[in-house]
Amino acid sequence: MKLKDIKTFVVGNTSIHRGGPYWVFVKVTTDTGIVGYGEIYGVAFHPKALTAMIDDLFDRHFTGADPFKIERHFRHVYSAGFSQRPDPTVMGIFSGIEMALWDIIGKALDKPVYELLGGQVHERLRSYTYLNAPPEAASNKEVYDDPDAAAERALEYLAQGFTALKFDPARPYTAFDPRQLSMETLDFADRYTARVREAVGARCDILIGTHGEMTPSGALRLARRLEPHDPLWFEEPTPPDNIAGMARVAAGTRIPVATGERLTTKYEFADLLRQDAASILQMNLGRVGGLLEAKKIASMGEAFHAQIAPHLFCGPIVGAANIQLSACSPNFLIMEGIEQWGGFHAEILTTPIRWEEGYIIPPTAPGLGVELNEAVAEAHPYDGTRLQLRMGDEPA
């Protein structure tokens, strides 16, 4: 069996706050007719440029190749261009293609991917969601800026079956960060988190989902405010380009530090673990370097008694890959989802991801266990100008 061609789908998301403005899916076809799907996350180029990069990378390294040779494919893509360093663009594209290769391999062997990466450990996977305003709301500001509205919304999620919720009480995050938070922001973050904790009590974990806004000392100031509310984690308290600074935060707070959505390959995660900068690893399978690379990172984490909590702010095929990784990783903690995986996340798949009372049930179908609904994908092309992810343009 040889790889034949690739097709890219850039799909406009119908709800920007539930996974971003668009998703980038790839379909890889073999000469036997087996197809695999993947998804690319967070590349900082417009999809028109990204599509050309995908075609070039595939033509250069994959056309006519054996899909089973994952290790060789990684080394070629990682090193052959004479970069040999963690590059989020190259690894993002590779992640989507590698994901599709595992989908092909699983289908060829009639096995879910988790059975090929060590076998299933978890029969169900705890999931959390971001604390969003209801879909009919004009803006998420309705809950982001109002602690009482956030508490009310948290209770609605609790009634649905969620046992963990995430929010960022220290916004905004900008291209000029990191910074010291103002006293006003510190006070708001404290009040907001306290109000949500008061509402949910011990029935729900609180996850502090910051985005690298703070300097190490600034993050420690916020952590001292939030420690009485017992969050499960403090996410990306500092930017990912200063692991030593993040390690100082981890050493200075009782809140576990989580990070990883902006890191790629085992090399960056190894540095994180060596410096004891985080105890919860949040790899995004659409950026980190693929499923096999993520499995290696999870295993490294296991040796350091770190747990994994795969990140998701994109489409459901990255989510499907997260499920495959989580199901076969002993040190799985929890995974991010987009609410109950309904709405457009369900519509874009031929069979939706199964969510029950706060847990995801891993599929038993071969490969990634999901199929892209290509008719829906083609009916929702993205024609905007903004990127999938962006920071604020002006200082806070």
Catalytic residues: 211, 311
Burial class (CB in 10 A: 0-12, 13-18, 19+), 208: buried
Backbone angles phi and psi of 36, in degrees to 5: -130, 150
DSSP per-residue codes, 262-304 = T--HHHHHHHHHHTT--SEE---TTTSS-HHHHHHHHHHHHHT
In contact, 372 and 9? CB cutoff 8 Å: yes
Distance CA 28, CA 63 (A): 10
3-state secondary structure of 257: strand
Which residues does 309 contact at the CB level (< 8 Å), separation at least 6?
233, 258, 280, 281, 282, 332, 333, 334, 335, 336
CA dihedral 74, 301, 285, 80 (to 10 degrees): -20
Distance CA 19, CA 345 (A): 9
